[in-house]
A = this chain, B = another copy of it.
Amino acid sequence: MALTAEHWPITAALLQSTDEHDADAASWSATLGQVRRAGFRHVDLTDSWVRPGDLEESRQDELLAVLRDSGLRAPAIAVTRKSVVDPERGSENLAYDHRTIDVAARLGAKVVCLGLHRPLTPAQREALWFWTVDGPRDSDDPEVRALAVRRFQDLGRHAAEVGVLLSLELYEDTYLGTAASAVRLVEEIGMPEVGLCPDVGNLIRLHRPVEHWRDLYAATLPYANYWQAKSYQRDEHPDRGWLMAVPAPLESGIINHREVVAMALDAGFQGIICTEHYGGDGLSVCAANREYLRRILPENGDYRLGTSRVTQPVL
């Protein structure tokens, strides 16, 4: 039965929550209570908030209890800035990802989102928007790329064993930084349990020429098994080089999500949609984004659904 607007799992990211990994259950409850009050029934366990892969079992149980008491389900875990080919912490991050996959299975999450972007640099942290400053670039060395493929295959096998999917997030200057490179990477990995997270917002906000959002989605949606959705407003002056990009609600940013949703269904997408928004009161904007998505997702389940190239979660 194809997903409909009413039942499609739409999560809130916890991008703007402070690190509460070591906080007590009451603090978690306060944070998740805000998510619930904002109208969400689903939440993404963004690991800048709490790192599920680093929680002892008793704390995992505590997290499950808080989620249940808050009236929330957590169908996805998003791992942030822990690249498996980080020159300094790649192996450590790989081990962390393995732990995260096990915890995901234990918590009942269907998807773990991974990426190749590394921690923000000091210059990025000082900028008004971190994406206006260039960060680390993945190596041109084919050995490093091959290592990324092997490590994601290793993680993919583990995920498949425990019934979890992996989703790799688009991010500039990594092997997942262009439509072509991302598609090539996921094809090299070559496992139905490893797909893409078409977080096109990561790319269209850059202060440089960018691929068109339509091209990015067209290339990556056939591999999508999870979708972090956020948008931006953008202006460019062709001759003089001025350029600006600022976070915008999904409805009024430059991406036509009505069109993207149609493309996603054509591509067989039936994954979780995670609403994200940087700057300001991201949770409130995410709530508005959720309501907007419910207005444009299909009302009935009788629509024509394409065939995805990767496994879709059972939600």
Contact = CB atoms under 8 A, between A and B. Distances in A.
Interface of A: 16, 34, 37-38, 123, 127-129, 132-133, 207, 231, 233-238, 240-259, 279-285, 288, 292, 295-296, 299
A280 B299 contact: no
A121 B255 CA distance: 23
A128 B234 contact: yes
Given A242-B242, A243-B242, A129 B235 contact: yes
A188 to B, nearest CB: 32
Q: Which 7 A-B pairs have the closest CB atoms?
A: A235-B244, A258-B281, A128-B236, A233-B246, A254-B279, A256-B281, A235-B246
Contacts of A258: 34, 281, 283-284
Contacts of A285: 251-252
14 contacts: A132-B237, A231-B280, A234-B246, A235-B246, A237-B243, A237-B244, A240-B241, A247-B252, A251-B284, A252-B285, A254-B280, A256-B280, A257-B281, A258-B284
A238 B133 contact: yes
A127 B238 contact: yes
B128 A281 contact: no
Given A128-B254, A237-B243, 15 more contacts: A16-B256, A34-B258, A38-B295, A123-B238, A132-B238, A233-B246, A244-B244, A251-B281, A251-B285, A252-B280, A252-B285, A253-B279, A256-B280, A256-B281, A259-B281
Contact of A37 (B238, B241, B245, B299): B299
A16 B235 CA distance: 19
